[in-house]
Amino acid sequence: MTACTQVNVHGDPKAWVRDQADASAAAPLRVATYNTSLYDDADGGLIRRLEAGDGNARKIAAVLQRVRPDVVLLNEFDYDAPQRAAELFQRDYLEVAQDGGGAALRYPYRYLAPVNTGVPSGLDLDGDGLAGDAQRGDRARGNDAWGYGLHPGQYGMLVLSRYPIDAAAVRTFQTFKWSALPGARQPRHPDTGKPWYSAAAWPQMRLSSKSHWDVPVRTPLGVLHLLAAHPTPPVFDGPEDRNGARNHDEIKLWARYLDGGAPAWLCDDQGRCGGLAEDARFVIVGDMNADPVDGDGVPGSIKQLLDHPRVDASRVPRSEGAAERAKFYGFARKGDTAEHTGDFGPKAGTLRLDYALPSRGWSVRGTGVFWPKPGTADAEISEASDHHLVWVDLAD
């Protein structure tokens, strides 16, 4: 069941009127993506942390208050059907001016829906001969979920918007089958060449590790299709590279969606088939877990989007903080480290994994990554997550 709700505005209602007055067709539209790392291994754990006053959540809110996107996707924000976590984050964090942040920030519209992470499949997906259940270890149980997770909704997604969301027109692809994708990279045992997933599991295997959402937002510049996803990391597997193959094909699903047309295989959870309309304007957002030239992903995975004829990837977001951190680690990189968006510590270094890719037809006024240089006033609030917020400013 999907949900698009209007949040009650707290505080001075005249302040919201002033915010609305500032939104005009002449003002750039700021669209952002942010992997917030606001997840918990325990079911309901994020809610309890937000109720208690979570320090990292305050920093995440401070970053959002500084950048002030009009529409933003939050990756790794645990999903709960009553929307308690989303409401707490809005009321007690975004609507309260945070240290290091800006003024209170109000989003009257949100979209959230179930994801595949932590949802039991009832099948043996990790090849250990056992189907995951509550009696087994957390890792084994999570590996046999449709998407890795320790409880349903872990690592979920949340869209926040200043502008109305067309809930009736939202398309989700949570249950889309991997085998339905033309040319699917079916994982195989490298020693035998036999399929990794059993004949019973492969036809049921869901492609999206979380979900893929097409969320239409009615902005002053017209309808924006926010194409949101969070493909699985291409690691934490074995020589069969099942996560690398899945990451590649999760990205490929959006590329084929952009091809448009009416392919009978491309059907959403609501039973509607076909790709994105040729005249639709969009921004692809999310932690894609794929660097253009570095990292452990299948080569060319993210280029399926970067090189797509409908995508304008000419303006690459940059930051001084990324370049400084990469220099500190000293990893050899083929790409421009100033374009990196995530810091994965001294063993993995920095990579470009997070994207806000607009369609052609927009006028791109600016891009950025909120990754301040170490030692600056903004650096502390940017360290709440191992990813950094990425944004693009759009105009007609």
CA distance 224 to 240: 38
- Per-residue pLDDT band for 133 (boundaries 50, 70, 90) equals low
Q: Which amino acid is at 132?
A: G
pLDDT digits (tens, 9 = 90+) for 26-81: 689 999 999 999 999 999 999 999 999 999 999 999 999 999 999 999 999 999 99
Contact 249, 178 (CB under 8 A): yes
Helix (H) or strand (E) holding 45: helix 45-52
The pLDDT assigned to 35 comes to 98
- 3 pLDDT exceeds 70? no
381/40 Cα distance (integer angstroms):
20
User: Rounded to 5 degrees, what angle do the CA atoms 153, 177, 40 make?
Assistant: 15
Q: Is 267 helix (H, G, I), strand (E, B) or coil?
A: strand
Question: What pLDDT is attached to residue 131?
Answer: 85
CA distance 184 to 387: 29
pLDDT digits (tens, 9 = 90+) for 221-240: 999 999 999 999 999 999 99
Q: What is the DSSP letter of 112?
A: E
Q: Indicate if the pLDDT at residue 112 is higher than 60.
A: yes
Question: What integer best gives the mean pLDDT of the chain?
Answer: 92
Mean pLDDT of 269-275: 97
> Which pLDDT score, from 0 to 100, does residue 141 have?
86
pLDDT value of residue 52: 98
Instruction: State the pLDDT at residue 134.
Output: 53
Q: What mean pLDDT do residues 111-126 have?
A: 96
Residue 324 φ then ψ, to 5°: -65, -45
Over residues 303-335, the pLDDT tens digits come to: 999 999 999 999 999 999 999 999 999 999 999
Q: What is the pLDDT of residues 178-197, one digit of tens each?
A: 999 999 999 999 999 999 99
pTM value?
Answer: 0.93
One-letter identity of residue 52: A
pLDDT of residue 140: 81
Q: Is 235 exposed, middle or buried (0-12, 13-18, 19+ CB in 10 A)?
A: middle
- CATH numbers and ranges of domains, the chain: 3-117+152-395 (3.60.10.10)
Q: Which amino acid is at 59?
A: K
Per-residue confidence (pLDDT) for residue 25, from 0 to 100: 52
- Is pLDDT above 50 for 21? no
